[in-house]
Structure 1
Amino acid sequence: MKRLTLSLTAAALLSLHGPALAQQVELKGRPVLQAVEGLKPGQYVWNPEAAPDGPVLMVVNLATQRAVLFRNGVPIGASTISSGKPGYDTPTGVFTVLEKKQEHYSKTYNNAPMPNMQRLTWKGIALHAGNLPGYPASHGCIRLPMKFSSLLFGATKLGMTVIITSLPVTPNRSEAPDFAAPIAPNTTTLARAPYEWNPDKSKSGPVSVIVSTSDQRAIVLRNGVEIGSAPARVAGAVNGGWAYALRAWDDTGQHWLRLQFAGSGSGMEVAPGEGNRFDTPWDFKHAVQTVLRPGSIIIVTPQSLKAGSSGSSATVIENEESAL
């Protein structure tokens, strides 16, 4: 009986922790985005020295069951994940980290442990350590290897942007033009269009601007709170979406990095006049300039920001009681 008990205990431990045991894979000179494709369940890569500081952005790909962490536009880590199983699908869209707790237990699922929890919605979606069987198996959360979840927890802050996409490609990085540079009022067809601007709703914190080509609208978030919105158009194909990170702002102007989080999977060469593709009200663009700081993120996505719209909806802000 004792032998049976020990065997059952060992099996239980393997079931709970075996696939999720964090196993770091050495890069051996390979770029992070190349190494991520060959990771097995529970494996991850971590190279923070590639970008010691700067704005942080995470991209989670449900199709490939991978997550990539960028800092200052440079990929510094990547991991396998396990997202929501059928019936508990993980939502796609643009999110911010609303809460962080190293020790957390689920209020919904039998007090299940959720180490290194980083909340993305108040309805129960979060990043946390958990079992990684190699396929979607969670109740909607994004499970990570234990050690990677700990490293990620230490590298992020409240308000960090998390993009969840479902296209079967890995991100790519390239230099970007000054997207937010002022454009003469007469050059934009939306120059005098009405817009919303309420910066007093959130007076400090990281700033993200999300441009949805589906909605033809831009939303400005500061510390996860919407402070502005306006009509916006993007000329040409978006090719799955991309994000701009404001690396620095000095006497020579703004310096942006662009990363592609979906699309063809190839590098993105940016034409010098790409900033002219963006059409928004002149005064709105000026207002956005006043809140941008190094670390700000501008995201362009073909997905809708409206809950309940056709296709995958993007949850941007929620104020309901936590379900985690």
Structure 2
Amino acid sequence: MSSRLSIRFILAASLLAGAVTSCTTRSPAPPPKAQRTLYEWHDDHGPGEVKVRINLTSQRAFYTRGDRPIGWSFVATGKEGHGTPTGTYSITEKVVDKYSNAYGWIEDEFGNVVNGDAKPSTPVPPGCVYVPAPMPYWMRLTNYGIGMHAGVIPEPGEPASHGCIRLPKPLAPILHDAVVIGTPVIIER
């Protein structure tokens, strides 16, 4: 009789231990962080030319074909001291793989950035190299270096560039294909 009792006790204890550990299993991973929508594009490729309107206050661009809206995006325009000029422009040059001749960074031999806001005239320490900033899917607006291109938009709704209009990276090639030399671009407050 005592062996039956000890077997029942062992079974009960193991069931209880299993129940306790099942209640203390690791908690589920937190849900993935929500991603902010940086653009929408719904070009119907119908009649009419593409037009771009950039609002510096909201840091958004609005795209139309004819009179039909075909998309919008956040942009990052010129930060204080590097303002993006208002006015009516047109695209005068399109280059898929362009690099800045005015801005870049300096990195050491291991690829670590030692100066993230350098110009070609910035002294380069020994063992380091100046790297011009990439401006993929470049669309020139002025003869003094202002244009639209793919770039980082670190804080949607806030200026961040040296004067150019940065576009969301996935949208830049789409817009680059949709516009032509002469496409109008209005920049306003």
TM-score normalized with structure 2 length:
0.64
Work out the CA distance in 2 between the residues paired with 1:113 and 1:97.
19
Cross-structure match for 1:77: 71
Q: Which runs of 5+ in 1 are unaligned?
A: 1-22, 24-39, 167-324
Work out the CA distance in 1 between the residues paired with 2:38 and 2:183.
23
Work out the CA distance in 2 between the residues paired with 1:154 and 1:124.
21
Residues matched between the structures, number: 126
Higher percent of residues as strand? 2
Q: Does 1:161 align with 2:184?
A: yes
Q: Does 1:150 align with 2:173?
A: yes
Cross-structure match for 1:98: 92
Match for 1:131: what amino acid? V
Cross-structure match for 2:152: 131
Where do 1:79-228 residues align within 5 Å?
A: 79-110=73-104, 111-134=132-155, 135-166=158-189
Cross-structure match for 1:202: none
The SS at the match of 2:99 is coil
The SS at the match of 1:127 is strand
Deviation of the 1:127 alpha carbon: 0.2
Cross-structure match for 2:41: 46
1:8-59 deviation per Cα after TM superposition (whole angstroms, max 9, x unaligned) = xxxxxxxxxxxxxxx8xxxxxxxxxxxxxxxx4x61001012x523122100
Work out the CA distance in 2 between the residues paired with 1:161 and 1:143.
17
Q: Where in structure 1 do 4 or more consecutive aligned residues deviate above 2 Å?
A: none
Identity percentage of aligned residues: 44
Work out the CA distance in 2 between the residues paired with 1:46 and 1:78.
7
Deviation of the 1:95 alpha carbon: 0.3
Work out the CA distance in 1 between the residues paired with 2:159 and 2:144.
19
Work out the CA distance in 2 between the residues paired with 1:64 and 1:104.
27
Cross-structure match for 1:282: none
The SS at the match of 1:151 is helix
Q: Which of structures 1 and 2 has the bigger CA Rg?
A: 2
The SS at the match of 2:175 is helix
Match for 2:63: what amino acid? L
Work out the CA distance in 1 between the residues paired with 2:136 and 2:72.
18
Contact 1:55 1:73 in 2 (8 A): no
Work out the CA distance in 2 between the residues paired with 1:47 and 1:56.
12
Deviation of the 1:122 alpha carbon: 1.2
Cross-structure match for 2:56: 62
Q: Which runs of 5+ in 2 are unaligned?
A: 1-34, 105-131
Work out the CA distance in 2 between the residues paired with 1:53 and 1:105.
34
Cross-structure match for 2:117: none
1:297-324 deviation per Cα after TM superposition (whole angstroms, max 9, x unaligned) = xxxxxxxxxxxxxxxxxxxxxxxxxxxx
Match for 1:153: what amino acid? H
Cross-structure match for 1:243: none
